[in-house]
Chains A and B, each alone.
Chain A
Amino acid sequence: MESSKAGSVQIRFSSHPSEEIWEEYAFGRLDESHLAPLEEHLLVCMECQETLEGVDTFIATVKSGAAAMQTSQREPFWSRWLRPAPRVAIAFGAAVLVAGVAIAATLYSSQTFLSTAPLAVVALQSFRGDNLQTVPAGHLLELQVPAADVAAGSNFRLEVVTSSGSKIWNGKAGVTRVPRGLGRGTYFVRLYGSDGELLREYSLRVE
């Protein structure tokens, strides 16, 4: 049991109002019948003075931060662009982005992403067993499809999968260069016809 003492006067408290009640008090939601005993208690209880002070501070803190946040959210998005510093930053960012996209598109279309890697030309042969075609690891691959396997002028498509069947490259129609070097292991090159039908499968060993 706590108490407030002054000379011979001692007031004992067996309990204190909860923080929720002090919040209601701080928001002015209590009527006079509830207010009177609380304020009388407050006049002599330092612990509750501290609690209420904490509640007041917390309310003021959240109010100032949340109000500032709501104001900035209400601001039209384009108004930030009109400010000098962000405008420069955005213009710079946009320029970098455009340049990046242009370079990537050029590289992709010419399939020379890893132009520093050497190129290996592979004449695909459709046989299985131990006689796998061997190609060096880390080389770009130029795949040559046997003419017998595709009808003249037909629109074929190539795909490279690992020995477990995971797709690692899916070429567009007529594209025969794999724009990345493959790691060591066994791979399969699949040949699809224009209607999407699987025509052939060639095996490769990368060493």
Chain B
Amino acid sequence: MIGSNTGAAAKRALDLEHTVEQLQTEEGSSSPHSDAYSGLVELVERIRSGQTDGMEDLYELFSKGIRFYLCRQLGPQELDDKIHDTFVVVVQAIRKGELREPQRLMGFVRTIVRRQVAAHIDKVVHNRREQIELDSTVRIADPGGDPEQRAMFQQRDHMIRKVLNELAPRDREILTRFYLLEQGQDQICSEMDLTETQFRLLKSRAKSRFGELGRKKLAQKTLSAISMRTSTGLSH
């Protein structure tokens, strides 16, 4: 079993390498003159020369991705402002000639977005420290949110717990190990005595069963809410 798991880890690493290599080829990192990438060089040229349609295309190409990335890292607060700031930095940097290899535009945008995230976190930490120094009686927000929200979360947790309880013990164990305890595939395979294929099948089955039961519970809840609302409406 240990031997097969070592083999599985090596195979997984190879899969990842293959995916990354393929992405690099497609995105032009390894082959800068690939067809898939040629439009970007021209786009950078249009931005450099100050053409507004170049700015529009840049925004159209990256805005959703930047929004997704920033929201995932920093949350939804002031998201539009952050996206705008990021685009300003990207365009200014291109115009200043900081992007020496236009075919690396995607990597360049990613670097700037990551810097923006780091700068924002740094700013928040700095502000918080200053605020605490200025006002030692600063009020700390209740992390649990308002009572209504708390009740909603509790209801949701209760439902998820019920769904987990209804799963087969082995399905529940694999989901808990992988998603809650964040154990890696190798550890789970060795402790649950599974091969890589068994692990994949078991995890996939557990996930779909979990989703299926969750949907059922949600439908039941919605139906009972509707019937309650209907009966309340009728009684008036």
What's the least CB distance linking A21 to chain B, in Å? Answer: 6
- Asked whether A44 lies within 8 Å of B65 as measured between CB atoms, the reply is yes
A156 CB to closest chain B CB (Å) equals: 51
Asked if B26 contacts A42 (CB within 8 A), the reply is no
**What's the Cα separation between A7 and B40 when bound, in Å?**
11
Instruction: Check B179 against A11 for contact (C-beta < 8 Å).
Output: no
Tell me whether A84 is interfacial, beta carbon within 8 Å.
no
Q: Mark B145-183, 1 if CB is under 8 A from A, else 0.
A: 000000001001111110111000000000110011010
Q: In whole angstroms, what is the CA distance A20 to B62 when docked? A: 25
Q: Is A104 an interface residue (CB 8 A)?
A: no
Q: Which of these binds chain A: B102-110, B127-135, B228-236?
A: B102-110
Stretch at the interface among A67-75, A124-132, A141-149, A181-189: A67-75
Chain B residues with Cβ under 8 A from A17's Cβ? 19, 23
Choose from A29, A66, A70 the contact partner of B175 (Cβ within 8 Å). A66
B-side interface mostly: helix
Question: Would B23 and A40 count as touching, CB distance under 8 A?
Answer: yes
Establish whether residues A44 and B106, one from each chain, have CB atoms under 8 Å apart when the complex forms. Answer: yes
Which chain B positions have C-beta within 8 A of A58? 179, 207
Which residues of A sit under 8 angstroms from B184, Cβ to Cβ? Answer: 29
Which B residues are CB-close (under 8 A) to A207? none
- By size class, the interface of chain B is 35 or more
Q: Judging by beta carbons under 8 Å apart, are B19 and A62 in contact? A: no
How long is the Cα–Cα vector from A110 to B94 in the complex, in angstroms?
99
Which of B40, B42, B179 meets A62, CB within 8 Å?
B179
Known: A62-B179, A68-B160. A8 touches B64 (CB 8 A): no
Q: Is the CB of B106 within 8 A of A34?
A: no
A145 to B205, CA, bound (A): 65
Contact A40 B107 (CB under 8 A): yes
- Whole-angstrom CA separation of A68 from B165 in the bound complex: 11
User: Which of chain A's residues have a CB closer than 8 A to the CB of B14?
Assistant: none
Q: B39 to A34, Cβ gap below 8 A?
A: no
A70 to B27, CA, bound (A): 44
> Would you call A61 and B160 a contact (CB within 8 A)?
yes
Q: Tell me whether A34 and B57 are in contact in the complex, defined as CB-CB below 8 angstroms, given that A40-B27, A43-B69 are known contacts.
A: no
Interface presence of A165 (CB below 8 A)? no
B57-A72 in contact (CB<8A)? no
User: Once the chains are docked, how many angstroms separate the CA of A46 from the CA of B175?
Assistant: 27
Across the interface, do B36 and A37 meet the contact criterion of CB distance under 8 Å? Answer: no
CA distance A54 to B164 in the complex (A): 18
In the complex, B66 has a CB within 8 A of chain A: yes
In the complex the two chains form, is A65's CB within 8 Å of B161's CB? yes
The answer to whether B24 and A37 touch across the interface, beta carbons within 8 angstroms, is: yes
Q: A11-B39, A44-B62, A44-B106 are in contact. Are A68 and B24 (CB under 8 A)?
A: no
Collect the chain B residues with CB atoms within 8 Å of residue A29's CB. Answer: 184
Nearest-Cβ distance from residue A160 to partner chain B, whole angstroms? 44
Nearest chain B CB to A43's CB is how many angstroms away?
Answer: 4
Among B64, B110, B164, max chain A CB count under 10 A is at B110
Measured in the bound complex, the distance between the Cα atoms of B67 and A46 in whole Å is 11
For B13, the closest partner residue in chain A by CB is A34
Instruction: Return the chain B residue nearest A42 by Cβ.
Output: B65
The verdict on B72 contacting chain A, using a C-beta distance below 8 Å, is yes
Inter-chain contacts of B24 with A (CB < 8 A):
37
Q: List 23 A-B contacts (CB under 8 A).
A: A8-B43, A9-B39, A9-B42, A9-B61, A10-B36, A27-B182, A37-B20, A39-B69, A41-B23, A43-B62, A43-B69, A45-B65, A46-B65, A49-B68, A56-B72, A61-B214, A62-B164, A63-B180, A64-B153, A64-B156, A64-B157, A68-B160, A69-B164
